[in-house]
Amino acid sequence: MNSRRDFLQKIAGSALALPVLSSFAPRELMQADETPYQGPVLRVAILGLGSYGERVAEAMKDCKRAKLVGVISGTPSKVKTWQAKYGIPEKNCYNYENYDQIKNNPDIDAVYVITPNGLHKEQSIRVAKAGKHVICEKPMAVNAKEAQEMVDACKAAKVKLLIGYRMHFEPKTLEIIRQRKAGEFGKVLFFQGLSGFIIGDPTQWRLNKKLAGGGAMMDIGVYSINGSRYMIGEDPIWVTAQETKNNPQKFKEGVDETIQFQLGFPGGAVASCLSTYSMNNLDRFFLNGDKGFAEMAPSTGYGPIKGRTNKGELEYPHVTHQTVQMDEMSDIILQGKQPIVPVDGEEGLKDMKIVDGIFLAVQTGKKVDLKL
């Protein structure tokens, strides 16, 4: 099946992960540390054992500060397979009917929700009410209303809500952010984000309005939305958008095929972005200032990410995004570490407000003001 996961996996190529780079000091490579890690370890259960769940599980084998200890699935055969593959004890295995009982399991700290978008809200709130920290894959919900309910539920339960923004820990991304903050690009004027691929199987959940909440925008377009914010360093204040649909048989009502959208930022910068399920070779960010530029292509795939600025290529080893993400999220949850780019529920909520604004702009043909 040709899906976003296949698309991102192809981008990854055959590059091997090299020594991990500190996501908080992207210019300094960490030397291999043979000293056993003695600090706290985040014990994680994965809810949803699909292809991306397995990618996360494989990446967590190399984590020092996070460990896969449990699974939640509606497919018993998958549970058995994962038990054998990852050494998961029976007492840490749940199905979709009984995982509220996780509240009685002291051996699980957090649950990573990796299911279709339309299920995120209910499942995340159930996890929160069970007293476990929530890590939810992006987009965090199908609209801002649901996202706000998730934020409120986690606050009420006094648990953390983090969103799976793996690019927020990617070294080349962080180096460009560092350079922009240091003023090396001057006044930021323009951002372009291109996110898209040709999607396959028309029966998959990503083309189901109820499960996906939309089409390409909810799947791949959110990368350009989020990328525009961390590359420019501001939140947008208005949006305009236009939709093109050439295949209404495949892309039903409420499932977008291609959307172009424009964002305006308080400092005067503008962004021009494309989200599509009908074109390949689209994974590029470009940031332009009055003193320099930065380009990333690929910009959001599983790696290796490639980046350059007006000063030349960015040379950093490829790191496995999900390994770094889960170790850093362990530090955020257990040690209160503050990431350079937020990954909390409020960050995800902002993206959902922009998504809502994009869909409204498509429907009305008007500029929509954003209040994030």
- Per residue in 279-320, pLDDT (tens digit) is 999 999 999 999 999 999 999 999 899 999 999 999 999 989
**Does pTM top 0.75 for this prediction?**
yes
Q: Are strands 133-136 and 110-113 parallel, antiparallel or unpaired?
A: parallel
Q: How far apart are CA 267 and CA 180, in angstroms?
A: 14
Q: Residue 193 corresponds to which tokens in the numbers above?
A: 């984000």
Instruction: Report the candidate in 275, 39, 15, 270 with the shortest Cα–Cα distance to residue 139.
Output: 275
Pick 34 or 53 by higher pLDDT.
53
Q: Residue 324 corresponds to which tokens in the numbers above?
A: 């770094």
- Other Cβ atoms less than 10 A from the Cβ of 268: the count is 11
Q: Is pLDDT at 17 greater than 90 in this prediction?
A: no
Mean pLDDT of the chain: 93
Q: Residue 295 corresponds to which tokens in the numbers above?
A: 């380009």
Which pLDDT belongs to residue 4?
Answer: 54
Catalytic: 250?
Answer: no
Q: Identify the active-site residue in 99, 112, 165, 223.
A: 223
Cα-only R_g, the chain: 20
Q: Residue 145 corresponds to which tokens in the numbers above?
A: 């209303």
Q: Is pLDDT at 23 greater than 90 in this prediction?
A: no
Per-residue pLDDT band for 36 (boundaries 50, 70, 90) equals confident
Q: Residue 212 corresponds to which tokens in the numbers above?
A: 């996906």
Omega before residue 139 within 30° of 0, cis: yes
**Helix (H) or strand (E) run with residue 314 in it:** none
Q: Identify the active-site residue in 121, 138, 160, 350.
A: 138
For the chain, which domains are there? 11-166 (3.40.50.720), 168-318+345-369 (3.30.360.10)
Mean pLDDT calculated for residue range 194-204: 97
Which pLDDT belongs to residue 6?
Answer: 54
Give me the percent of the chain exceeding a pLDDT of 70. 91
Q: Which residues of 88-119 are buried (b: 16+ CB within 10 A; e: fewer)?
A: beeebbbeeeebeebeebeebbbbbbbbbbbb
Helix residue spans in 216-344 (DSSP H): 216, 222-232, 321-335
Catalytic: 138?
Answer: yes
